[in-house]
Amino acid sequence: MRKLPVIGRAEANYAQPPKQRLPSWIKAKMPSGDTYMDVRKLVHDQKLHTVCESASCPNIGECWNDRALTIMILGGTCTRSCQFCDVPNGRPDPVDSDEPRRVGEVLRHLGLRHTVITSVDRDDLDDGGAAHWAATITAVKEACPDMTLEVLTGDFQGVLSDVDTVLAARPHLFSHNLETVPRLSRQVRVQARYDRSLSVLGHAKLTGAKVKTGLMLGLGEEMTEVHEVLDQLAALHVDVVTFGQYLRPSKGHLPVERFVEPDEFEALRVHALSLGIPMVESGPLVRSSYHADRQARLLSPT
């Protein structure tokens, strides 16, 4: 069993700035509607977790009404304490061996063209959950042979053989988020390392996989630092990059340093495309899985 890292957030560590009013360009509709409720019931009936709910995604209403969701496997408790994330952290329950079957059943019922599966980090497991990832990918592909599948994984503590276990199950797109620039990485992703995440992306690309990553803006990064990250991603031939605005889930999380203007997001998208990155999703409410089905169609039009 791997050594379990220190977990938990200390709310007192963060000075509380005056309450920030969200700018006019950050608006999300309250979740509602029959389709939204149907998807919610289906997920809850099968006792599955979604990052849509666990991470308080602002797009949950829009996405679930389109029957698009991001299932989160390996339980609902993360072994890490990233300072931006609203997913609960602590000591997780044992791995549910029936979860892959239920994930496949839910996705078969939804009849999607494309979906994203993610997971909590499981640093308590010898393989970081890689075998369970592979079993889930296999079950989903058997249940939904006409659907493309994107996996958004952790870094497996940099153990590339575990990354290979996931890739061997042949997901259509492999995703792992850098989340922020190198200078802020330790503060934002306490138990992760920027260089380790970059090596995971580079390794996946070298195996021939299509690769995706994402960053949040508004944590105190400089745009020159973001451009330097893009240079590295272009050199790795990453296929998809996403940029979105960081929104503070609670007072126990990192504060928002600034709200990035929509025209800055657009300028970043144009710059990334100019570097040869094929697909860039950039906007205030963009999240890792936002419009992932459209990205998959454009990357693999057949």
Given the candidates 3.90.550.10, 3.20.20.150, 3.20.20.70, 3.30.70.1230, the CATH classification of the domain at 31-299 is 3.20.20.70
Distance of CA 165 to the CA centre of its chain: 19
pLDDT digit string (tens) for 252-284? 889 999 999 999 999 999 999 999 999 999 999
pLDDT digit string (tens) for 190-211? 999 999 999 999 999 999 999 9
- Determine the Cα–Cα distance for residues 232 and 275; give it in Å rounded to an integer: 10
Give residue 31's pLDDT.
Answer: 61
Entry pTM: 0.85
pLDDT confidence band for 299 (50 / 70 / 90): confident
Let me know: does 106 contact 64? Beta carbons within 8 Å. no
Give residue 35's pLDDT.
Answer: 66
Domain limits, the chain: 31-299
- Determine the Cα–Cα distance for residues 229 and 8; give it in Å rounded to an integer: 29
How does the average pLDDT of the chain come out, rounded? 86
Nearest to 289 by CA among 64, 77, 78: 64
Distance of CA 168 to the CA centre of its chain: 20
Strand, coil or helix: 151: strand
| Strand positions, DSSP E, the chain | 49-50, 70-73, 114-119, 148-152, 173-175, 211-217, 240-245, 279-282
pLDDT digit string (tens) for 117-127? 999 999 999 99
- Determine the Cα–Cα distance for residues 236 and 275; give it in Å rounded to an integer: 11
pLDDT digit string (tens) for 148-158? 999 999 999 99
Let me know: does 41 contact 64? Beta carbons within 8 Å. no
pLDDT digit string (tens) for 17-69? 445 678 887 876 666 566 667 667 766 666 666 656 655 566 565 665 665 67
